[in-house]
Amino acid sequence: MQDDRRLAVLRAIVEDYVATEEPVGSKALVERHGLGVSPATVRNDMAALEEEGFITQPHTSAGRVPTDKGYRLFVDRLTTIKPMSAAERRAIATILDGAVDLDDVVHRSVRLLAQLTRQVAVVQYPTLSRSTVRHVEVVALTPNRLLLVLILSTGRVEQRLVEPAEPVDDDSLARLRAQVNGAAAGALIADAVRELRALADEQPETATVAETLVEAMSDHRSDERVAVGGTANLARFGASFEVDVRPLLEALEEHVVLLKLLGEASAGDTLTVRIGHEGPYQELSSTSVVATGYGPGDEALATLGIVGPTRMDYPGTMAAVRAVARYVSRILDEG
C-alpha cells in the first residue's frame, strides 16, 4: 500500500515537473492530485523517495524534481501507453498517405514526429542489407536499350539503363524478365546478388543485365543516412536545458552518433526508452531517447525516434513514436 502511494507521489511529481518546469512541493501535490492523504504524509513519502534516489532537491527550501532513476521507475511502471487522439491519428494518416517514395516517407515521418512530440525527431533510412528484392521490371525502350527497375522491400526503387549485347525481341525480353526475377525476387540482397552472379555465369546473354542489377543492389548509400527534424524545438526548453544544447546540436550533425543514440532496430512494438546517463554518450546525459524499429511485417529494417531533455512527456512521446512507426511499417508493407 505504501509503495503504491509513493509511486503515485512520484508519478505526480514527474507530471507536474514536466508541465511546469518548477520543483514540486508537497502542498501543491495534495491540492492538484487529490492523493487522499495529508501534506505531512506526502512529505514523508517525498523524503523516502529522495532517500532512495528517485527525486532530488535542487536547492534548499525548494520542491523536488525527478532524477534519472525516478524517470526510469515512472516509465517502467506505466501500465498503458497513452492512446493517440482521433485528431492525432488523422494527422498521421493525412501526412503519410501522400508519400510518393521512400525519401518522401522518411522526410514526412521526421516532420510529423517533430510536430507530434515537439522534440527533435530522427529517422534512419532502411538498411539495404536487411531488405529483400520485391520485384525486378525489365522494359525495352528500344531493341538495344533496356530500363531496369529494381524494387526493394524497403520501398526503395533503383533504375538503371543497359544496352544488351544483342537486340532484344518480345520473347527474349519475357524470358530475361523471368530469369532475373527467378534469381532475385523474394531474396535477401546478399542471396539475390549471389544468384544473379550465378545466372550471369550460366546464361551469358543475361550477364549485362544481371551485373547491372548486382551493382544497383550493392549501393549502400542509405545504410548510415538519417533524417533529422524539429531542431528548433530545442529553443522552447529555455534556461533549464541551455547548457546542454550545444553537445546535442553537435550530435545532430553526426549521423553515426545519432545511429548509436537510436540503438539497434527492434521488431514489433518494442519501444526503447533510454534516460539520461543510460545513453551511450556522457555529454548527452541530460537527454533521453525514445525509439523503436520499423519495417514491413515483423521485420525491423531501421529505427526512428525522438531525442529531447529528460524532462519530457514520456507517455505522449512513446505513443507518438509507436504510432508513426506502425504507420510507416504499414506503408512499406503495402508498397
pLDDT for residue 224: 62
- CA–CA distance, 149 with 306 (Å, rounded to integer): 34
The residues, any chain, with a CB within 8 Å of residue 220's CB and separated by 6 or more, are 128, 129
Burial of 319 (C-beta count, 10 Å sphere; 0-12/13-18/19+) = buried
Q: What does the radius of gyration of the chain's CA atoms come to, in whole angstroms?
A: 26
* Contact between residue 302 and residue 125 where contact means Cβ atoms under 8 Å apart: yes
pLDDT for residue 61: 67
Q: What stretches in the chain show pLDDT beneath 70?
A: 1, 61, 128-130, 219-224, 237-244, 265, 267-268, 335
pLDDT for residue 223: 52
- The 8-class DSSP code of residue 64 comes to B
Q: What distances in angstroms separate CA 52 from CA 8, 205, 297, 302, one per listed residue?
A: 15, 73, 42, 37
Helices (H), 118-188: 170-184
> Residue 248 is which amino acid?
L
Name all domains of the chain by residue range, CATH numbers in brackets.
2-76 (1.10.10.10), 86-125+225-334 (3.30.450.40), 129-221 (3.30.390.60)
- CA–CA distance, 23 with 251 (Å, rounded to integer): 29
Q: Which of 242, 231, 284, 241 is nearest to 261 (CA)?
A: 284
* Contact between residue 137 and residue 152 where contact means Cβ atoms under 8 Å apart: no
pLDDT digits (tens, 9 = 90+) for 301-310: 789 999 988 9
* Contact between residue 324 and residue 304 where contact means Cβ atoms under 8 Å apart: yes
Task: Give this prediction's pTM.
Answer: 0.77
